[in-house]
């Protein structure tokens, strides 16, 4: 397995990570826990060392799953988790009721996540979304204290804008920024990626396969469960899925030249952008995991990248990424 370092930090991880959210969240029915534990063990066997979870996934159950599954591999793998939401702890399973990145809340979440993950220190602790009610300097300061206490190793931000990243980094160096990035969502190229490059921060794309669309396995006839977030996204209406097949046609064409699948081309394109980019596609099946790992063997030349760029410049992807009320929460 190829390795990459996240920016200027000493955090070295497998060149592809694994997003664990849908192993116990946003699914109906929820996958079998023992099957997911076996799957996570298989991922480690294949060289994956970077696993992504969050308090809010489940909520809580995803951290518990990842913690139990990866407990035998302590010291061999790195787990990233996230804080930043408030839960109604008087109800089960503790539904999310808003944002909360107050320093006291961050520290409470850290203690709870440490127990669920069964670790002595959180490898990478992201703020899940920027909280408009808490100065980012206070957030970074709280993480700095947790790092000094040995409870957290690295600080991360998710879906933060360039200005927020700079302000946070001035208080406590940011190791990684996690945001959506793929062939069909490239907004981070405008300001966020340049800021990361300037500051020596690694970048972790979530939804690198466009929530599954870039695999080529989704079309206008695909149906989604009501709990699946894609059932509520403008980009996943039947009309949008049909119109956006032109993106898949491009990936198929490049893939035929390379002996690769659309998903492998999409991941290879991301990996070719910067050496400090580590995508975290979410998988729950071994064949998908193996397909994704195969992207590491797909070499896109400068001519290939130019061809993809030229083709994409003529394509307008239909549909917003999120409904407007959710999109306003991102990129601050």
| DSSP letter string, 203-218 | EEEESTTGGGGGGT--
pLDDT tens-place string over residues 23-41: 998 888 999 999 999 999 9
Tell me the longest C-alpha to C-alpha distance in the chain: 57
Domain region containing 267: 3-327
pLDDT tier for residue 201 given thresholds of 50, 70 and 90: very high
C-alpha closest to that of 156 among 329, 306, 318, 11: 11
In a domain, 332, yes or no: no
pLDDT tier for residue 329 given thresholds of 50, 70 and 90: low
Cα end-to-end span (Å), the chain: 35
List the structure tokens of 15.
């060149």
What confidence score (pLDDT) does residue 331 get? 65
Phi, psi of 233 (to 5 degrees): -100, 135
In a domain, 12, yes or no: yes
The DSSP bridge pattern shows strands 152-158 and 85-87 to be unpaired
What is the total count of domains within the chain?
A: 1
List the structure tokens of 46.
């294949």
Please say if the pLDDT value at position 170 is more than 70: yes
Task: Give the lowest-confidence range in 1-5, 142-146, 223-227, 257-261.
Answer: 223-227
In a domain, 283, yes or no: yes
Cα separation, 240 vs 270, in Å, equals: 23
% residues pLDDT > 90 (the chain): 90
Task: Give the lowest-confidence range in 196-205, 245-254, 308-317, 322-331.
Answer: 322-331
In a domain, 264, yes or no: yes
- CA angle (182 as vertex; 6, 207 as ends), nearest 5: 80
Which residues are identified as catalytic?
57
Cβ count within 10 A of residue 327: 12
CATH classification of the domain holding 47: 3.20.20.100
What confidence score (pLDDT) does residue 94 get? 76
Cα separation, 123 vs 322, in Å, equals: 29
In a domain, 195, yes or no: yes
In a domain, 50, yes or no: yes
In whole angstroms, how far apart are CA 199 and each of 108, 161, 254, 324?
29, 14, 33, 30
Mean pLDDT to the nearest integer, 57-85: 97
Cα separation, 248 vs 214, in Å, equals: 6
Burial 274-291 (b: 16+ CB within 10 A, else e): eebbbbbbbbbeeebbeb
C-alpha closest to that of 158 among 83, 76, 249: 83
pLDDT tens-place string over residues 90-112: 777 777 888 999 999 999 999 99
Tell me the DSSP string of 10-26.
Answer: S-EEESS-EE-GGGSSS
In a domain, 143, yes or no: yes
Mean pLDDT to the nearest integer, 43-57: 97
| Arithmetic mean of pLDDT over the chain | 95
pLDDT tens-place string over residues 246-273: 999 999 999 999 999 999 999 999 999 9
């Amino acid at each position: 397995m190829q390795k990459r370092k996240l920016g200027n930090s000493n955090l070295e991880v497998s060149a592809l990570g694994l997003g664990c959210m849908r192993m116990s969240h946003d699914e109906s029915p929820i996958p079998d826990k023992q099957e997911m534990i076996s799957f996570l063990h298989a991922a480690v066997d294949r060289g994956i060392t970077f696993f992504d979870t969050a308090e809010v996934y489940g909520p809580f159950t995803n951290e518990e799953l990842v913690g139990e599954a990866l407990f035998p591999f302590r010291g061999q793998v790195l787990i990233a988790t996230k804080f930043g939401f408030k839960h109604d702890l008087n109800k089960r399973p503790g539904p999310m009721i808003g944002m909360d990145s107050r320093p006291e809340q961050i520290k409470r979440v850290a203690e709870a996540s440490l127990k669920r993950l069964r670790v002595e220190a959180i490898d990478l602790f992201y703020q899940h979304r920027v909280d408009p009610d808490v100065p980012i300097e206070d957030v970074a300061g709280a993480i700095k204290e947790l790092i000094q206490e040995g409870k957290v190793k690295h600080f991360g931000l998710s879906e933060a804008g360039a200005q927020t990243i700079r302000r946070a980094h001035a208080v406590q160096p940011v190791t990684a920024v996690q945001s959506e990035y793929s062939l069909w969502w490239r907004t981070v190229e405008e300001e966020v990626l340049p800021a990361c490059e300037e500051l020596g921060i690694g970048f972790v794309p979530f939804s690198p396969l466009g929530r599954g669309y870039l695999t080529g396995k989704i079309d206008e006839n695909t149906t989604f469960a009501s709990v699946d977030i894609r059932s509520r996204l403008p980009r996943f209406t039947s009309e949008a899925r049909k119109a956006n097949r032109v993106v898949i046609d491009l990936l198929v064409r490049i893939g035929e030249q390379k002996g690769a699948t659309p998903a492998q081309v999409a991941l290879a394109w991301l990996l070719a952008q910067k050496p400090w980019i580590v995508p975290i596609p979410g998988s729950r099946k071994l064949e998908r995991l193996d397909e994704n790992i195969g992207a590491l063997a797909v070499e896109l030349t400068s001519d290939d990248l130019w061809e993809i760029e030229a083709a994409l410049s003529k394509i307008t992807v239909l549909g917003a990424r999120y409904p407007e009320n959710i999109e306003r929460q991102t990129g601050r």
